[in-house]
Amino acid sequence: MPLDQDSAIPLYHQLFLQLRDEILSGSHQSGALLPSDGELERRFAVSRITVRRALDELRQLGLVRREHGRGTRVMPLQPAGKPVFGSVDDLIESNLAMGVDSEVDLLSFDYVPADDRIAGKLKLPHAAIVQRAARVRRTGRTPFAHLTTYVPEDIGRRFGKEELSSVPIVVLIEQNGARIEYADQTISAQAADEELAALLDVHPLEALIRLERTLYSAGDVPVEHLVAFYRPDVRNLRMIFHRNPPERRGA
């Protein structure tokens, strides 16, 4: 993605955000060298000092290491913490509740070839067709979440954009024959870029809650991948933990 020369966000920070996202998405593998400073200058049409400031921000986050005479090496990502287990029924119930107390604006709905990352998440061949939908959820006129979902084509063709505009996708997937057995979800934080800032009515670089989730049916078959951003000042993520899972209590 090219940098926006007219943006209020400094070029070095735009470059930092782009490279950070490429590293976190796996486009640059752990232990590999990033493109040289000169290659980054040409690719993004920026100065050497802009490249070095962006790389320094990456270094401060522990994402890269500058090696004299070699270049900039990607550091191993910190492993995710131990998983927290919950109920799929609770997940479906919370999605139903969100559908009741909020409205949705469908921004896009189409069928596209999956890139390597999404294909990997859904265990599909390279460039397999997936349903991709982007929407904003809001309470009244206040947007609080931006959601992008990816669904394998064989499931996605069973419902259309009209249903997706009114029914939570978790419910649609189950209504169309794919019983959800479990979900693998990660929560982190990310600064809003200009597009997200405009859609969620926040300032650029404001912190958002980032949630990434894959739903699986029986046999560890992925049926949906979600990338979501939430405004923490409007919507937070509440979790209730039991000493024993509800289905095991009283057994």
At residue 222, the pLDDT reads 95
* Residue with more model confidence, 237 or 200: 200
In 61-157, which ranges are continuous DSSP H helix? 88-101, 116-121, 153-156
Which CATH entry fits the domain spanning 11-74: 3.40.50.720, 1.10.600.10, 1.10.10.10, 3.40.50.300? 1.10.10.10
At residue 81, the pLDDT reads 47
Highest mean pLDDT among 31-45, 92-106, 173-187 belongs to 31-45
* Residue with more model confidence, 202 or 25: 202
pLDDT at 249 over 70: no
Q: Are 227 and 74 in contact (CB under 8 A)?
A: no
How does residue 121 score in pLDDT terms, banded at 50, 70 and 90?
very high
Q: Which of 184, 234, 237, 174 is nearest to 210 (CA)?
A: 237
pLDDT at 124 over 90: yes
Fold of the domain built from segment(s) 88-248: Chorismate lyase (3.40.1410)
pLDDT at 82 over 50: no
pLDDT at 105 over 80: yes
Encode pLDDT of 19-35 as tens digits. Answer: 988 887 778 888 889 99
At residue 250, the pLDDT reads 40
Distance CA 124, CA 130 (A): 9
Across 10-46, b (16+ Cβ under 10 Å) vs e yields ebbbbbbbbbbeebeeeebeeeeebeeeeebbeebeb
Domain ranges of the chain: 11-74, 88-248
**Element at 209 (helix H, strand E):** strand 207-217
